[in-house]
Amino acid sequence: MARAPHDVPSPDPSLPTVSGLVVVDKPTGWTSHDVVARMRRLAGTRKVGHAGTLDPMATGVLVVGVEKATRLLTWVVGQDKTYEATLRLGQATVTDDAEGELVAAAEPAAVEAVTDEAVTAAVARLTGAIEQVPAKVSAIKVDGRRAYAQVRAGRDVELAARPVTVSAFDVHRITRTRDDAGRPVLDVDATVSCSTGTYVRALARDLGEALGVGGHLTALRRTRVGALTLEHASTLDQLAADVAAGRPLPVTTLEQAAAGLFPVRRLTAAEAGDLADGRRIGPSAGDPEEGPLDNDAVTAGLAPDGRLVALLQDRGDRGARMAKPVLVFLPGERFSAAPGTTARPGRDR
C-alpha cells in the first residue's frame, strides 16, 4: 500500500537537485499522474513529467523526467515499447480491458471451438504494419474532448484507424479456464513489441473479434521503453528508501539518455559554443550527393567535456545543409577544447 503523503521523505537539502530520467516500476492501481506527484516530493521539485501514460491496472516501466530532462520526454514517448500481456478471449468490455463493464460474452461452444492454431494464425495477422482503431477509452480528442470522457458520459465515440507497427507478438501460453461466473474463456499470455501509439488492449479486442468471440486485456506490464528496461527501474518504495537515507535519486543523466535515444555527435568547442548561442553549424550527416535527405533525424551534440549541448536536425537543400539546434540545454555556455574543463570568458575558435 502506498504511503500517505506526509510519510513521503524529501531530499536532503544539502544535495544538489537531480536532473535526469528516473525509470519507475509503476505499481498497479496508480495513475501515471499519481507517480509524477510522488516523484515531485521525492525529487524536491515540481519540474517533473512522464513519458507514455500507463493505465492504472498496468505496471512496469514509466519513464519520469526531472528538471532539464523533462525536455527530452517528447522524444522518449516516441520510442518503441515492449509489454508482457494477458489477453482474455471470449468476453468483450466497454474499455477493452478488465477495468470496464462486460458488454458481451461468447457462447461456451464458440469459445471451446477456438483452437490454439486459430489463435496463432489470428495473432500473425495482427503482426507487422497494421491499421489499428484505438481503444475508445483513450486520451485521443474527438471534437475537442477526450474520448474516454465522452465514453464515460455515455456517448458513442468513433475513432479513425491509425497506422502502427507491431514488430513482435509472441504467444507463450494459451490457458483454457473459466471466469468467476463459470463461463469458459481462453487466456493468452504474450509479449508485444510495438511502435508508439499502439494500444495493446486494442490488440486484445481485435484478436477476439477476429476469432468471433470477443476479447479484452486482463494484465499488462511494460518492460521496455526504447533502451530503458525494468533492469533500470526502481519501485517507489526503493526510491523513497534512497531519499530517506540521504542518497540521491538514481537517474539516467541527460547525456546517457540522449546517447540512448539518438546518434551522438562529438562537438568541437567552437561548434558547442555556436549551438549554445542558437547558431547553426555544419551538417551532422555530411552533405551526400545522392540519397534522400532526412530532415527529421535528430542527433545529440555533446561538448568536449561530455555535456549535452543541444539536439540537432540537419536542414536545407543539398550543398547548403546545416545542423540546426532544435533544443538547447546549455544556452550561452562557453567551452574549452580540453575535456572536463570550462573555458574562461570568450570562445575557442
Alpha helices in the chain (DSSP H): 32-43, 73-77, 108-112, 116-125, 147-152, 200-210, 236-244, 254-261, 269-276
| C-alpha cell recorded at residue 51 | 513519458
**Distances from the Cα of 249 to the Cα of 10, 224, 290, angstroms:** 11, 20, 47
Question: Could you confirm whether 277 is annotated as catalytic?
Answer: no
Q: Which of 7, 34, 55, 156 is catalytic?
A: 55
Report the candidate in 305, 302, 315, 306 with the shortest Cα–Cα distance to residue 275. 302
What is the rounded distance in angstroms from the CA atom of residue 240 to the CA atom of residue 8? 7
8 Å CB contact between 172 and 191: yes
H or E element: which one contains 341? none
User: At 113, phi and psi to the nearest 5?
Assistant: -80, -10
8 Å CB contact between 167 and 195: yes
Active site amino acids: 55
